[in-house]
Chains A and B, each alone.
Chain A
Amino acid sequence: MSIKRELKQLVDQEVLWCVEPFPGDPATRAVLLSSSLNSIFHRAAKESRIARLQADLQNIVAGGEVTLSFTPFKHLSATFGVLEPAGEGTWEIRSRHPSPGLRVFGRFAEVDTFVAIDWAPRSKPLEGFDKKPLLGRKSLEYQFAQIEVDQFWNKHLAKQSPIYGERCSDYFTDKCSAGGAEQ
C-alpha cells in the first residue's frame, strides 16, 4: 500500500487529522496531526499561543516559507529542526513566538508531508495544559516526546520509513531553505 493511501486510511479512521489551510489559501503541503495533538486546537479561541500555532501550521500547508536546520539543538530560529539521532528522522516544528515557544514533534512521511504526533512547550508550562516544558536538550521530556513519536510511528506506519536526507529538497518541493547554526 502506498504511503499516501495509508495516511488517507488513518485519516478516515480518525487516527490522523488533516490541517486545512484557511479558506481561500492554497493547499500545497500536508500536515497531519495525531488525535491528541488535534485536540489542543479546540482551545485555540481561549489560548492565544495555540491559535498562533494553528496559524503557523496552516502557513506550512499553504506553501509558506520554511527553514530547516540539520544540526540537532543548534536550530536558532529555523522552522523545522532535526532531533538527534538525526538518522531516526524525527523533527520538531518550532513555533517560537511568543514565549513560551511550542514544539511539535513528528516525521516526514514523504516530501511535503509531515506527520505531527506530539507537542510540548519549550521553556515554561502553558496555562491550562498538563504538558511539562521540554527545557534542556537532555531532559526526560525531550526523550518522552521522541519515544511517543517512535511508538506512534511503529503502531500506525510501521511499514513506512520516515524520510531522512540532508538537503531541503529531500523534505520540501519548494519555498524551503536551510537555517540553524551552521548556515
Chain B
Amino acid sequence: VTTSQTNAPLGELNSDGPLSAGTRAYLGARARNSIFNFVHEKLRDAKARGLTQAALAERIGKDPGRLSNTLSSPGNWTIDTIAELLFGISQSELVPTDRPLLGRREGNSRAIDLLDDKPDKIVSPPKREETRGSANVAKIRDLERVL
C-alpha cells in the first residue's frame, strides 16, 4: 500500500518518451525554486555579516517594500532579477552548473519517516571498518591461495 503522494513526473522522466506539458512545467518550477533557495541562502549569510534589507534595496535601486515582495517568492523573477540580487547581496554572479536529476542518492530520505515518534532513536549500524587484524587475515588467505 502506498501512503505517499503520486510522484507524477518521475515515470515520464525515467522514460525516453516525450515529456508532457505538466512534466515540463514541473521542471521549470523546480529550477525556479532552486534559484530562490540559493539566493536566500546567500541573503541569510550576508545578513549574518550585517547586511540589512534596506541597504540591499538602496544598493540595487529598489523600493524596500518592493524588494521585500520580490524576496518573498520567485514567481516573477527574471535572469536580471537574479543577477542584481546576487550582486547586491554578495557581490557575486550566477555561474551556471548542473547535476543529474535522476539517480541521485545524496540526501535521499522519506518524508513519512519524519512522522516516526523517535527518529533519533533509529541508528544505522556503524559502517564496518576493516581492522588491522582482519586485513592481515585477508592477506594471509591471499598468500595461501597463491601458494
Contact = CB atoms under 8 A, between A and B. Distances in A.
A94 B76 CA distance: 14
A65 B42 CA distance: 12
Interface string B9-41: 110100000001111111011101100110011
B112 A45 contact: no
Contact of B23 (A20, A45, A113): A45
A48 B24 contact: yes
Interface stretch (B55-63, B67-75, B86-94, B129-137): B67-75
Chain A: interface size category: 35 or more
Interface string B65-107: 0001111111110000000000000000000000001111111
Given A25-B107, A48-B22, A97-B75, A20 B5 contact: yes
Contacts of A158: none
B112 A4 contact: no
A48 B24 CA distance: 8
Contact of B108 (A24, A48, A67, A183): A24
A47 B22 contact: yes
A45 B20 CA distance: 6
A78 interface: yes
Nearest to A180: B72
B67 to A, nearest CB: 10
Contact of A20 (B4, B71, B72): B4
Contacts, number: 174
B147 interface: no
B146 interface: no
B22 A46 contact: yes
A118 B51 CA distance: 39
A20 B112 contact: yes
Interface string A167-182: 0000000010101100
Interface residues of B, number: 52
A48 B21 CA distance: 6
B69 A77 contact: yes
Contact of A4 (B6, B25, B115): B115
A54 B117 CA distance: 26
A176 to B, nearest CB: 10
A22 interface: yes
26 contacts: A11-B3, A14-B1, A18-B115, A19-B4, A22-B10, A24-B105, A24-B106, A25-B104, A26-B108, A29-B114, A30-B114, A41-B8, A46-B21, A50-B22, A51-B23, A51-B25, A56-B29, A64-B33, A78-B73, A94-B73, A96-B73, A97-B29, A97-B73, A97-B76, A113-B114, A177-B40
In the complex, the 8 A-B pairs of residues with the closest C-beta atoms, listed nearest first: A24-B104, A55-B29, A48-B25, A179-B72, A97-B75, A77-B73, A26-B107, A44-B8
Interface of B: 1, 3-10, 12, 20-26, 28-30, 32-33, 36-37, 40-41, 68-76, 101-117
